[in-house]
Amino acid sequence: MLAEILPPEVAAVEAFGDVLDVELFPEEEAALGRAVDKRRREFTTARACARAALAKLGLPPVPIVPGLRGAPQWPHDVVGSITHCIGYRAAAVARGHDIRTLGLDAEPDEGLPEGVVNRVAAADERAGLRALASATPGPCWDRLLFSAKESIYKAWFPLTRRWLGFEDTVITINPVNGTFTVRLLVPGPVLDGRSLTRFEGRWLVRDGLVLTAIAVPALPQLCHRLCLAWRPLPAQPATLMRVAGDGGHQAPTACTPPSTCTISPVVAGNQSDSSATHARIWQLSDG
């Protein structure tokens, strides 16, 4: 499922049950400490997913330990994100020269506990949720908004090493094309000489799960996609445990110079332990 909402440069691996026949590195065991069984299962399965995703990039297994605010520490020139909720664990990675940052989140497709939406959503966002529920019943829109805010924080933190509160973003969900837009209310990071003021992401609701993802491409990849937009792309059906980077397209021989790119510098998707009571709230879960 996850591959459907990630760009082709990203390798994604997901699991719908625990994978425990994985020997953790000593550094990972030290990070776990005396964790309870639930936490050990989540952590171990997430590492299995992360190692499988790294292998798709041609990289060997390495320790993936939590760093500042719990953010997973990836190998040099690799970006990634880990997420988990009941019945689901996933990891996604990409080369740093393709993708600048990744943010993933998985949630159960259930309404948020009473009172939580008022903590995570501004008045305008709550009004938008009511409109969505009235016009398009089905997904738990409040949970989707919460998940999107989780994804943006996971994408934001590696770029800035700064806190981002729920109140520091405004999210608009598009119920038709499976995308969402994140408008920053605080100064954003500067990438390739551009100050980012918004992010764009994709979402998917299926089989009782809410998935959200944000992928910020490096500028050369952005121009590459601009060129590809002018030519038909082959269909890329997603399959379980599929690598999002399979079946990549041949690069064009010429590309629009970065200075003349007219599309947003922040793009997600292919362009067309998670709960509402996280211990932070805004502590990065390392999976």
Q: What is the 3-state secondary structure of 178-206?
A: CEEEEEECCCCCEECCEECCEEEEEEEEE
**Pick from 111, 105, 119, 114: nearest CA to 138:** 111
The verdict on residue 273 lying in a domain is no
Per-residue confidence (pLDDT) for residue 168, from 0 to 100:
97
Question: How confident is the model over 269-282, as pLDDT tens digits?
Answer: 333 333 333 333 33
The verdict on residue 275 lying in a domain is no
From the CB of residue 52, how many other CB atoms can be counted at a distance below 10 Å?
21
Per-residue confidence (pLDDT) for residue 222, from 0 to 100:
53
Per-residue confidence (pLDDT) for residue 273, from 0 to 100:
36
The verdict on residue 284 lying in a domain is no
Per-residue confidence (pLDDT) for residue 69, from 0 to 100:
86
Question: How confident is the model over 75-88, as pLDDT tens digits?
Answer: 999 999 999 999 99
What is the extent of the structural domain holding 21? 2-260
Per-residue confidence (pLDDT) for residue 202, from 0 to 100:
98
pLDDT band with cut points at 50, 70 and 90 for residue 236: very low
The verdict on residue 278 lying in a domain is no
The verdict on residue 286 lying in a domain is no
The verdict on residue 268 lying in a domain is no
Question: How confident is the model over 182-218, as pLDDT tens digits?
Answer: 999 999 999 878 889 999 999 999 999 999 999 999 9
pLDDT band with cut points at 50, 70 and 90 for residue 221: low
Per-residue confidence (pLDDT) for residue 225, from 0 to 100:
47
Instruction: Say what the pTM is.
Output: 0.79
pLDDT band with cut points at 50, 70 and 90 for residue 287: low
The verdict on residue 88 lying in a domain is yes
pLDDT band with cut points at 50, 70 and 90 for residue 286: low
Looking at residues 163-180, what average pLDDT do you find?
96
Distance CA(182)–CA(180), nearest Å, equals 7
Please report, for the domain that includes residue 248, its CATH number.
3.90.470.20
Q: 161-169: long-range contacts (C-beta < 8 A, 24 or more apart)?
A: 161/68, 163/282, 164/282, 165/282, 166/119, 166/120, 166/121, 166/281, 166/282, 167/122
**Pick from 119, 241, 209, 118: nearest CA to 130:** 118
Question: How confident is the model over 27-65, as pLDDT tens digits?
Answer: 999 999 999 999 999 999 999 999 999 999 999 999 999
The verdict on residue 143 lying in a domain is yes
| Number of domains within the chain | 1
Question: How confident is the model over 238-275, as pLDDT tens digits?
Answer: 323 322 333 333 333 333 333 333 333 333 333 333 33
Question: How confident is the model over 107-159, as pLDDT tens digits?
Answer: 999 999 999 999 999 999 999 999 999 999 889 999 999 999 999 999 999 99
